[in-house]
A and B are shown apart, each in its own frame.
Chain A
Amino acid sequence: MTADLNSFTFATIRPEEGIKTVLKKNSTDIIEMLKESRLKGRGGAGFPTALKWELAANAEREPKYVVCNADEGEPGTFKDRFILNHFPDLVIAGMTIGAMAIGSEKGVIYLRGEYSYLRNHLEYVLKTRRETGLLGENIFGRKGLNFDVEIRMGVGAYVCGEETCLIESLEGYRGEARNRPPFPVNAGFMGNSTIVNNVETFAWVTSIADKGVDWFKNIGTDKSSGLKLFSVSGDCEKPGIYEFPMGITIEELLKTVGAENTKAVQVGGASGCCIPAAEFNRTLAFEDCSTGGSIIVFGQHRDMLEVAENFLDFFAEESCGQCTPCREGNVKLLEGVKLLREGKCPMRYLQELCSLGETMQLASKCGLGQSSPNAFLSIVKNFKSEIMGRKSSNAIAG
């Protein structure tokens, strides 16, 4: 896959230097630094990191927690695995900075069960950091600065990538979304103030601390600053991990990965949108095609209905099953796709399903349900003539 590790910005970052810069700052200054950087969450939702940390820093419920969301389950995403494998120190340093910003002594990496082969390596990194005074008590030689990190394993549930589900899982419950408000920054793990950030977000925090705010904020667009890792898979010559500035067009990306003859691109994984060739001039940025980094390329020969079916099958299984729109809605959309494949879905019913999809976006309890119909809706919108008019199996048999 990706040719050279050294071509990544992360390879040039000195995590300890980053922390040392931060050591000179107080909580407000750290948050101010992030505010200026305009860093937004790299998990996909794009919530401003500084704002999240500020809310947590001002929250009362203690002890506070720093949680690293390493439950990378979005189909087509694998950049967090890459980062944890090659640059774990950046992530842990980022968590340490987070701890200093909000006033926490306890960090948790929630690592998805599918990545359990990374655990030993990460434990080793944590151990080394403890031994060298970068984790534990009085870190970096500063008295009273305590922070340690524990790894907790996921046990196979995509929905636990949603922050409140993740917290429920940490607490020993079914990974079901909580009612919000209150948000985790106020009442998270064990009811205490908690920040949950993506693996990559922490790594960029460390990078900003080391290389400076100006470097970061001058890359990308106004609303989407900095660099971003992309996980590219599907019908292309060079699948793998890529680093691009935020705001590049899909076209540029496709050119780099060797995907010239492309029918559509799924941006943002199963919960993202399917972008047809006509819209390849759109940008990969929070203000346009928002993504946690998943790019799945579909060649001309792909059946978009099969794509939709694969995604909906995924959601029908991975929905936590708590709220009606998500639990039942995904089943209905999946049935609808099957009807389309069999040529048994009249236009009126298809419209009904699209309307249902819109309700799911509005009415579901958490991000999973709210985004689960995206792929279906965009495929129906962009590939209507392809997905309709299939011959019914009866007709073939007859």
Chain B
Amino acid sequence: MIQRIFNKNKATASEAVETVQQVSKQQTETIHVTIDGKPIDVEPRTTILDAAKRLGIRIPTLCHHEDLCKAGVCRVCLVEIEGARTLEASCSYPITRPLTIHTHTRKVRKARRHIIDLMLSSHYGECYSCTRNNNCELQALAKEYGVDSFRFGHLEKPRYEIDSSSYSVVRDMNKCILCRRCVNTCSELQGVGVLGVANRGADTKITAFADKPLANVVCINCGQCINRCPTGALKSNDSTDEIWNAIDNPEKHVVIQTAPAPRASIAECFGMEPGTPLTFEMNSALRLCGFDKVFDTNFTADLTIIEEGTELLMRLYKALVEKDESAVLPQFTSCSPGWIKYIEHFYPEMLGHVSSAKSPQQMFGAVIKTFYAKKHNIDPKDIVTVALMPCTAKKFECNRPEMNDSGYKDVDYGVTTRELAQMIKESGIHLPDMQKSDFDNPFGSATGSGVIFAASGGVMEAALRTVIELVMGVKVENVFEHADILPVRGFKGIKMAELKIENVGPVPDILKMHFKNWDWLKGATLKVAIAHGTANAKLVLEDIKNGGEFSQCHFIEFMACPGGCLGGGGQPRPTNADIRKARAKAIYAEDTAYNVRKSHENPAVAELYTKFLTDGPCGKRSHKLLHTHYTSRGKFIP
């Protein structure tokens, strides 16, 4: 139903926020239920599954996912309700009257086993050759219910062709059990609506519009569907073979840049608790794998703040001082490639809002094949740049035809957290056992601001830290305790914050080519907003189109994935709100641990501007290397 509400939603984003608040206020009386003999009082409309969870009773599920609305299609979570004629799906049964429920009766166990047997009978493929081996919910259930043979047979031939047309997502529908998590993720959580259900009866399948390959529909490559698929039916388009080839080729200088989000999650691939950071262990492991240099993407995250921040100040100047109507505000961030593809497809008329600054990944690629190549006297054609990202859309991004400003493909391969964990395992390494080591120079030292790019609100916080210091001329710490800008943090889908610029300081050297003074900003209130998950992005965009409160903002951070990069489509499975919270905690802890926590204080960034991008941020050279343009794609793809 949430999906429906969303589709029909004409409400503004702020109304949506209010509705949520109202709903949480309502619940008053509770209902008494008994589950497996244990009593509990629950709020009306609590599902049986949630009530059981509170009692510590485990009910197996497949189509249900905490991030999504009620499902009720796979029927694995059936329970017996006293007095009911049939078994009921606990995930979608709202408690509205007192009930006596049994979760593991003979009938229930028999039914669950049958359902698992039925799923296995039409699930083609064997576990050895599956990327989900040992991390598959269907496999785990089969084990839990003692499946020892294919009771109702097993497919001997595949029914569907594998769709690997997309740079980001590979769909093998032979392994699909029609739980519809991907469909609900795509339409309800992300508001994209690329995946759907077609046909009926025995011919039912999950597909894209008119059975087209994913590359030919409006997929934004976010990979959220992969994160929620219980089987191996969805996976990322894996380039590790090509990366190994490059590593094994002595002619090639293979460097890897690592984004902040994977270091807070890769431990999960090695059986550790979510939120265990293994940043420096990973550096050692990557060198052992054979990468020649290990860089920190945070360097270009800091660079992004300088470029994007300068661009924002320039737009503001144009709008406020020059009264130039061509200055499009609010400015939108551009680091999330899923978000970029979303706006290219669904709101191409609003592309003028998007910062022209490339994402940190692409900036780094361009810098490596120019500045770094020159500095270390390596022919850029022999450099292979790999990007470790929490993201599947990054694979599409690095293959965009315009991303070759270095004269070469700026980033050769994107690799996800999951894929890199696999490479590390393949090298015989147990990551948690690694010694710690630092990143390589000349980009070694990053800042806390770069690290928090991984969380929703992180880009905004980093930008605000820099704006406060460069424009207001005061220490962030004097405005926000410990320089933690809490109003922009957290998992609320849409956040808004304001910063009153009471006083201004002198224009720092780095910006002197663009601005004489900040007097024009004195007394102004900087309004910013943050949205994560494209369904939320859609609400904000519609609000702006209708001249709502978000159109008054100056700067808005958008992230395609719920939670931001730490919930990215390339991150370890499973995912849920608790796991994402734990990862965020690790990210913010790392930020706090840095000596330098503000992008403009990054010495490597300063060096880049003094030695290489000598005409400053948003100058000619930076525009050639660090900025890009977008494609108006629209919804109709011929």
Q: Do chains A and B touch in the complex (CB under 8 A)?
A: yes
- Also in contact, A363 and B73, with CB within 8 A (given A179-B93, A321-B202): no
Contact A319 B111 (CB under 8 A): no
Contact B201 A362 (CB under 8 A): no
Contact B200 A352 (CB under 8 A): no
Contact B86 A323 (CB under 8 A): no
- A332 interface residue per 8 A CB criterion: yes
Contact A319 B107 (CB under 8 A): no
- A103 interface residue per 8 A CB criterion: no
- Also in contact, A317 and B96, with CB within 8 A (given A323-B73, A363-B75, A365-B73): no
Q: How far is the CA of A355 from the CA of B111 in the complex (A)?
A: 9
- B283 interface residue per 8 A CB criterion: no
Q: How far is the CA of A352 from the CA of B113 in the complex (A)?
A: 12
Q: Which residue of B lies closest to A186 (CB)?
A: B96
Q: A321-B199, A323-B72 are in contact. List 12 more A-B contacts (CB 8 A).
A: A174-B197, A179-B72, A179-B89, A322-B204, A324-B74, A324-B177, A325-B75, A327-B202, A327-B204, A365-B72, A365-B89, A370-B86
Q: How far is the CA of A185 from the CA of B96 in the complex (A)?
A: 15
- A328 interface residue per 8 A CB criterion: yes
- Residues of B within 8 Å of A319, CB to CB, are 200-202
Question: Which of B92, B107, B114, B151 has its CB near the most chain A CB atoms (within 10 A)?
Answer: B114
Q: Which residue of A lies closest to B47 (CB)?
A: A179
- Residues of B within 8 Å of A174, CB to CB, are 197, 200
- A316 interface residue per 8 A CB criterion: yes
Query: CB within 8 A of B200: which of A181, A321, A324?
Result: A321
Q: Which residue of B lies closest to A174 (CB)?
A: B197
- A289 interface residue per 8 A CB criterion: no
- B118 interface residue per 8 A CB criterion: yes
Contact B118 A328 (CB under 8 A): yes
Question: Which of B89, B115, B153, B200 has its CB near the most chain A CB atoms (within 10 A)?
Answer: B200
Contact A329 B197 (CB under 8 A): no
Contact B75 A323 (CB under 8 A): yes
- A290 interface residue per 8 A CB criterion: no
- B178 interface residue per 8 A CB criterion: yes
A-B residue pairs in contact (CB < 8 Å), sample of 27 = A159-B200, A174-B200, A179-B70, A181-B93, A181-B94, A182-B94, A319-B200, A321-B201, A323-B73, A323-B74, A324-B76, A324-B178, A325-B114, A325-B118, A327-B178, A327-B204, A329-B118, A330-B201, A330-B202, A331-B202, A359-B110, A362-B78, A362-B111, A363-B115, A364-B75, A365-B75, A365-B89
Contact A332 B152 (CB under 8 A): yes
Contact B119 A324 (CB under 8 A): yes
9 tightest A-B CB contacts, nearest first: A321-B204, A328-B118, A179-B92, A359-B114, A319-B201, A179-B72, A363-B111, A321-B200, A359-B111
Binding site for B on A (CB under 8 A): 157, 159, 174, 179, 181-182, 315-325, 327-332, 335, 352, 355-356, 359, 361-365, 370
Contact A321 B119 (CB under 8 A): no
Q: Which residue of B lies closest to A352 (CB)?
A: B151
- Residues of B within 8 Å of A361, CB to CB, are 86
Question: Which of A329, A332, A335 has its CB near the most chain B CB atoms (within 10 A)?
Answer: A332
Binding site for A on B (CB under 8 A): 70, 72-76, 78, 86-87, 89, 92-94, 96, 107, 110-111, 114-115, 118-119, 121-122, 151-153, 177-178, 197, 199-204
Q: How far is the CA of A171 from the CA of B199 in the complex (A)?
A: 18
Contact B178 A362 (CB under 8 A): no
Q: Which residue of A lies closest to B201 (CB)?
A: A319
- Residues of A within 8 Å of B177, CB to CB, are 324
Q: Which residue of A lies closest to B114 (CB)?
A: A359
For the complex formed, measure the closest distance between the CB of A336 and the CB atoms of chain B, giving whole angstroms.
9
Q: How far is the CA of A318 from the CA of B204 in the complex (A)?
A: 11
Query: CB within 8 A of B78: which of A317, A330, A363?
Result: A363
Contact B73 A322 (CB under 8 A): yes
Contact A157 B115 (CB under 8 A): no
- Residues of A within 8 Å of B87, CB to CB, are 362-363
- Residues of B within 8 Å of A325, CB to CB, are 75, 111, 114-115, 118
Q: How far is the CA of A323 from the CA of B71 in the complex (A)?
A: 10
Q: Which residue of B lies closest to A171 (CB)?
A: B4
- Also in contact, A324 and B115, with CB within 8 A (given A157-B200, A316-B201, A317-B201): yes
Q: How far is the CA of A352 from the CA of B197 in the complex (A)?
A: 30
Contact B86 A321 (CB under 8 A): no
- Residues of A within 8 Å of B73, CB to CB, are 322-324, 365
For the complex formed, measure the closest distance between the CB of B157 and the CB atoms of chain A, giving whole angstroms.
15
Q: Which residue of A lies closest to B119 (CB)?
A: A324
- Residues of A within 8 Å of B72, CB to CB, are 179, 323, 365
- Residues of B within 8 Å of A159, CB to CB, are 200
For the complex formed, measure the closest distance between the CB of A326 and the CB atoms of chain B, giving whole angstroms.
9
Q: How far is the CA of A361 from the CA of B119 in the complex (A)?
A: 17
Q: How far is the CA of A242 from the CA of B204 in the complex (A)?
A: 38
- Residues of B within 8 Å of A329, CB to CB, are 114, 118
Contact A327 B201 (CB under 8 A): yes
- Residues of B within 8 Å of A182, CB to CB, are 94
- Residues of B within 8 Å of A321, CB to CB, are 178, 197, 199-204
